[in-house]
Structure 1
Amino acid sequence: GITLPRSSASIATVTEKISLKDVKKGDLMFFKGRNIQSTRVGHVSIVTSVQGDTIEMMHSCRRGIIIEKYQTNKHYTSRFLFAGKLPQVYPKDSLLVDYVLIAEAVEIADTLEGGDTMKTIYRQEQLVSMKPIADRDTTHSHPQIVKIIGVGDIMLGTNYPNSSYLPPNDGKDILLPVKEIISKGDVSFGNLEGVLLTGEGERKKCSNPAICYAFKMPDHYIDYLVDAGFNLLSIANNHIRDFGRTGTANTIRILENSPINFAGLEECPYTTFEKDGVRYGFAAFAPNTGTVKINDYANAKAIISHLDSVSNIVIVSFHGGAEGSTMRHITRKREMFLGENRGNPYEFARMAIDAGADIVLGHGPHVTRAIDIYKDRFIAYSLGNFATYGRFNLSGPNGIAPIVELNLSKTGEFISGKIYSTKQIGEGGPILDEQNRALKEIQQLTRKDIPECTLKIEADGSIKHSNASEGDTP
């Protein structure tokens, strides 16, 4: 395998430029992105064959991962910048080569069924290997069980309006009480409720300051998330634009330079990554400005279906449903909050699974909601306030939240799980709750709101299929 930077522009910096007439199978072709007047690299393809003057290339775009003739596509011939070869690659024409493309900053506007038009999608896919198949080590098989850890909202403290809203010891200890659980996951997920920004940004303007909060965590707080074991975050929520373009761009920059995968904005609607031989796809949705819209089902289906075609396990996150302690129940209807359509979580989760999702993890209401299973795929409708320091209402149901531990097959089917109950006291920060209130809340809400749910939630927090025997649970 070959380790490469994750963006097409960065890959271009490690290639040796060559003339287009000299390209061979395995070489790369670089193109402009959205702005045709720009000279910046925004897209990359890989050459799959050269027959005379005809170049065939493979790349990922809105239409999927496709192979096409370069000369017949005006979109790309008008945006071509240069070709390049990777010094590490020595292709042999007699061997097949297995490619997984990077394609970032793709701008194809395709028409979907019903006449809807897909906006520009910026991919974050990683080149996994350019090693000839004959040279591949195929002795390493996928693990039989994959462990996913999921939590809800994360806001580790804000330096706005001042540093008094940051936790003691500069936040170093805030996640330590739950680190042992979080770090068990092959994938450990949470919703980053705010931006990472030590400096200043363009604070959002609010028509009603009484219901308006802006959150920005210092840049180095990313280290606390990494140390706790998180490697997947949603940034699709109502706080990712709290400090304008500056805050959003800085958050993306910091996450790109960390081991944490992320998605949820128009700039980065989804991502794929690999861990221990399993390929994961992730997409996140919300109703808010600049996010991938939860109510645009045609767009959501297209994204999820694509991820399903290139991944072993697809994880979908959504920030949806009305907020507050009185909004703990699944209504199976559209939910409104402060005049905003926050989607229908029940309907959205089933749509996502029908499109190819294997897990659906919800957040946004700031309270714990029911869990569910559909087509052997797990759903959590809201994972509540997990680690929200300083500026959140943590009274009553707002102050308890689950950590869900899920054991899945390598193709995404739910096998078993466990609920760990946490609570936040004082200004906040998660600790284990000996009263197991989040567990009891999930048991009660699932019985009431999803009475047909076939999951069995035990008093010790274990989750299993209702027809599973003791020997079936890993």
Structure 2
Amino acid sequence: TIATPVVSAQGDTVAFLGFAQWTGPDPRDLAAVRRHVRRAASEYPRVVVTMHMGAEGRGRQRTPNARETFYDEDRGNVVAFARAAVESGADLVIGHGPHVMRAAEWYQGKLVFYSLGNLVTYGPFSMGEPLNRGGIACAVLDGDGAILSAQLRSTVQRPPGLVSVDAAHRAAVLTDSLGRLDFPRTGARLDRYTGQVLRADGTPLPGAVPAPAGDVVTPGSVPPRRRPQAPRRQAGPGS
């Protein structure tokens, strides 16, 4: 498997390497995971690894360090996969597949998002809570792959397939709560009003920039939508 390099406008290169059991490489084969990630890390300065793993559905928000099954199908051990990837050189690991938000974790100084929920899946998928919640993971990495700052931007889907920013940051709230439950010592903390990712002890990352006051939304502070006012008619001669 060859990683896909993406070059930014500034000339920075980030390699992406995805794993899924149906198309390969199989994320349940940890020896192959280590081999592919090591090769990517030897060729590129920054490596982002993605995994399509884990059981699905409303009752699958918790992240077990164990093999998961879904309709008798082996969906692998997401924690074992993520740690194998990081140990082999991954700088950021992002999971998808459970269709619900899951915890985020710091492992050996690297960030792991175990599931980002649903972004654009309206149609054949149920969009009841919490399946309508999603998150967009954003991160700034330095030249060596260290994470300087990260943010989870919460989204919500509404019929008939509309995706919008969730001003209440519910995906960030879920990720923060699940991190405390599933990884009490290593779970990433999230600012519940900005989605900013914090260290496991709640301290900010070195490159984190405080959000402007106007971007902070607290419960009950979302202003109501205002109907656009029609332009006033100008009085003229004879009016």
TM-score range, shorter chain: 0.7 to 0.9
Pick closer, same or farther for the CA change 1:332–1:407 going to 2, 3 Å.
same
SS of residue paired to 2:76: coil
Look up the match of 1:272: 5
For 1:334, which of 59, 62, 67 is the aligned residue? 67
Q: Deviations over 1:221-269 (max 9, x none)?
A: xxxxxxxxxxxxxxxxxxxxxxxxxxxxxxxxxxxxxxxxxxxxxxxxx
Structure 2 unaligned spans of 5+: 210-239
Offset, 1:471: 7.4
Contact 2:50–2:93 (CA under 8 A) maintained in structure 1: yes
User: In structure 2, what is the Cα distance between the partners aligned to 1:322 and 1:470?
Assistant: 31
Look up the match of 1:304: 37
Offset, 1:443: 1.3
Look up the match of 1:462: 196
User: In structure 2, what is the Cα distance between the partners aligned to 1:379 and 1:430?
Assistant: 24
Look up the match of 1:313: 46
User: In structure 2, what is the Cα distance between the partners aligned to 1:294 and 1:309?
Assistant: 20
Pick closer, same or farther for the CA change 1:467–1:390 going to 2, 3 Å.
closer
Considering Cα pairs closer than 8 Å and 6+ residues apart, tell me whether 1 or 2 has the greater RCO.
2
Offset, 1:390: 1.6
Contact 2:40–2:47 (CA under 8 A) maintained in structure 1: yes
Contact 1:415–1:464 (CA under 8 A) maintained in structure 2: no
Contact 2:149–2:205 (CA under 8 A) maintained in structure 1: no
1:111-130 correspondence to structure 2 within 5 Å: 121=1, 123=2
SS of residue paired to 1:444: helix
- Select the structure of larger CA radius of gyration: 1
| Counterpart AA for 2:51 | F
Look up the match of 2:112: 379
Contact 1:287–1:343 (CA under 8 A) maintained in structure 2: no
Offset, 1:291: 2.2
Number of paired residues? 206
Offset, 1:420: 1.7
Is the counterpart of residue 349 in structure 1 residue 82 in structure 2?
Answer: yes
SS of residue paired to 1:284: strand
Look up the match of 2:132: 399
What percent identity do the matched residue pairs reach? 32
Pick closer, same or farther for the CA change 1:391–1:447 going to 2, 3 Å.
same
Contact 2:176–2:188 (CA under 8 A) maintained in structure 1: no
Contact 2:148–2:205 (CA under 8 A) maintained in structure 1: no
Offset, 1:340: 1.1
User: In structure 1, what is the Cα distance between the partners aligned to 2:189 and 2:58?
Assistant: 25
Offset, 1:429: 2.9
Offset, 1:324: 0.4
Offset, 1:428: 2.2
Contact 1:402–1:422 (CA under 8 A) maintained in structure 2: yes
1:13-412 correspondence to structure 2 within 5 Å: 121=1, 123=2, 270-275=3-8, 276-288=10-22, 290-412=23-145
Q: Deviations over 1:39-86 (max 9, x none)?
A: xxxxxxxxxxxxxxxxxxxxxxxxxxxxxxxxxxxxxxxxxxxxxxxx
Offset, 1:358: 0.6
SS of residue paired to 2:90: coil
User: In structure 1, what is the Cα distance between the partners aligned to 2:86 and 2:7?
Assistant: 21
Offset, 1:375: 1.4
Look up the match of 2:208: 473
Contact 1:334–1:343 (CA under 8 A) maintained in structure 2: yes
SS of residue paired to 1:378: strand
User: In structure 1, what is the Cα distance between the partners aligned to 2:208 and 2:41?
Assistant: 26
User: In structure 2, what is the Cα distance between the partners aligned to 1:319 and 1:441?
Assistant: 20
RMSD of aligned C-alpha atoms? 1.8
User: In structure 2, what is the Cα distance between the partners aligned to 1:337 and 1:408?
Assistant: 35
